[in-house]
A and B are shown apart, each in its own frame.
Chain A
Amino acid sequence: MVKHSVLIGACLMLLACSNATQPNLYQRLGAEDGINAMVDGLLYEIEHDQRIVHHFADSDIGRFHAKLAEQLCQLTGGPCHYSGSTMQESHTGFNISLADYDALVEGLIKVMQRQQISITDQNALLALLAPMYKDISYR
C-alpha cells in the first residue's frame, strides 16, 4: 500500500514537472465560458436573495455582468483588463453592510458548488475576493 502510494506520488510529481505550464486559476475556473457561467449564476442568486436584491434595483445588469466578468478574469490571471471604476467608487452610496457582503459570498459559494468547482479552486477565488470587503463595505 505504502509502496503504491510512493509510486503514484512519484508519477504525479513527474507529471507535474513535465507539464511546464500549469493552468492558472482563470483556466481552472473554465476560462471565459466558466467565468461567464459563474457571473450568470451569481446574478441568479442575487435576484432570488431578498436580503440584497434591492441594492441592484437601479443597476444596468448587462454592464454589471460584463464588468464583473472582466474583473474576475483579470483577478484570476486571465487575458483581460478590468475597465470599470474602482471598488470604492462603484459602491459609494450603497452602504453595503457586513450582512450584505456575507449574503453575496454565500451566493457565490452556492454557484461554485453548483458548477462543481473544486474546493481548492473555490478557496483560491475566495482568497482573492474576501479582502475587497474593506473597499466595498459601508461606503
Chain B
Amino acid sequence: MKTWFFAIALLSVSGAASAGSKIIATGGVTTIEGNAGGGIVPWAVINGYASSNEWSATAFTGRVAINNFTLQSTGVGISLDNTWEFSYARQHFALKTIGGSLSQDIFSIKYHLTGELLYSALPQISLGVQHKRNRDFTLPAAVGAQRATGTDVYLAASKLLFNQVAGRNVLLNGTLRATKANQTGLLGFGSASDKHYQFLFEGSAAIFVNYNLAFGIEFKQKPDNLAFAAEQHWRDVFVAWFINKNVSLTGAYVDLGNIAAQGSQTGYYLAMEATW
C-alpha cells in the first residue's frame, strides 16, 4: 500500500509518463472487479487512454470499508486500440466481526462493439466477460453456494452528453449483466435452488464539474440465491478526481445492504488508479 501510494504520488507530480491520446477521464476509473467503469458498475468505456492504434496499461487498488467487513481489490489491465480491455483483479474480503476471509480472482475481457463515448449520437456499447474463481470455497460451500467458479457476461452502454446540467457534461451508463454470482462471486456461484443465469441491471450517472472532477451515483441490482441470508442491491455516491492522465483517485459512500445476515452495511470506498 505504501509503495503504491509513493508510486502514484510520483506519477502525479511528474506527469511525464506517456499516456494515450484519449481525452482525460474517458477511460473512467477501475471498478472493484478490475474493469473500466465507476466503482461497482462496469461501463462501456475502455480502460486507460489508448485511442486508435495505441495501447495502455492500468493498475489500481481500492478498499471498501463497511460496518462488519472490508474488501481489498487490486488489479492490472491492458487496453488496445480503444477496442479491447484485458484485466485481472484479486479481491480479499475480510469478515471483521465473524472472523475469516473470502477471496477470488477475476479475469476479464471487454470488447468495444460500436459508438464513441464523446463523438457519436449512439452510445458507446461494449460487451464484457468476467471469469471469477474463488480461491477458497470452504465458506461459500458451507452457506450453500453451488460452484466455486462462475462467468458473468455484461452488455454496457455509455454516453457523455455535453453541456447538460448547468453547462456541465453528464455521463450516463446502463449495464445489463447475466450472472449466477452470490455477492459478486465472493460467496460462490448459484445455489441448490437457483442454478440459472439471471439478468440484472446496473446504472451510473455522473456530472463533470470540469475535465478533472466528476460526482456521480451508481446502482447495482443483485441476485438473491442463498437461503442463509438475503442479498440486497448495492448503491453508492462517488467523486472521481482525474489528477492527470496518469493518476486518478476515487472516493465513495457505499450502501451494500445486508451481507451474510449482518445488518445494513454502509461505509466508504477509496481507490487509486495509475495509467501508462
Q: Which residues of A contact B (CB under 8 A)?
A: 51, 97-99, 101-103, 105-106, 109, 118-121, 123-124, 126-127, 130-131, 133-134
Contacts and interface: CB of A to CB of B under 8 A. Distances in A.
Given A120-B167, A130-B118, 14 more contacts: A98-B51, A98-B52, A98-B82, A99-B54, A102-B23, A105-B118, A118-B167, A119-B211, A120-B163, A123-B168, A124-B163, A130-B162, A131-B120, A133-B120
A105 B23 contact: yes
Contacts of B53: 97, 99
B85 to A, nearest CB: 16
Considering the complex of A and B, which 5 residue pairs feature the smallest CB-CB distances, nearest first? Answer: A120-B167, A133-B119, A127-B162, A99-B51, A98-B52
B12 interface: no
Interface of B: 20-23, 51-54, 82, 116, 118-121, 162-163, 166-169, 209-211
The main secondary structure of chain A at its interface with chain B is helix
Contacts of A109: 23, 211
Nearest to B164: A123
Contacts of A106: 21, 23
B163 A134 contact: no
Given A102-B23, A103-B21, A131 B119 contact: yes
A120 B21 contact: no
A6 B116 CA distance: 41
A130 B119 contact: yes
B245 to A, nearest CB: 10
Contacts of A51: 21
B119 A101 contact: yes
A106 B21 CA distance: 8
Contacts of A119: 167-168, 209-211
B51 A120 contact: no
Nearest to A128: B162
B166 A120 contact: yes
B168 A131 contact: no
22 contacts: A97-B51, A97-B52, A98-B82, A98-B116, A99-B20, A99-B54, A101-B119, A102-B21, A102-B22, A102-B51, A103-B21, A106-B21, A106-B23, A118-B167, A119-B209, A119-B210, A120-B166, A120-B167, A124-B162, A124-B163, A127-B163, A131-B120
- Most B-side CB within 10 Å, residue of A118, A119, A133: A119
Nearest to A113: B211
A133 B116 contact: yes
Nearest to A138: B52
B21 A123 contact: no
Contacts of A134: 119-120
A126 B26 CA distance: 15
Contacts of B167: 118-121, 123-124
A131 B120 CA distance: 6
A131 B159 CA distance: 13
B93 to A, nearest CB: 38
Contacts of B82: 98
Nearest to B161: A127
- Most B-side CB within 10 Å, residue of A51, A99, A121, A127: A99
A75 B119 CA distance: 17
Contacts of B119: 101, 130-131, 133-134
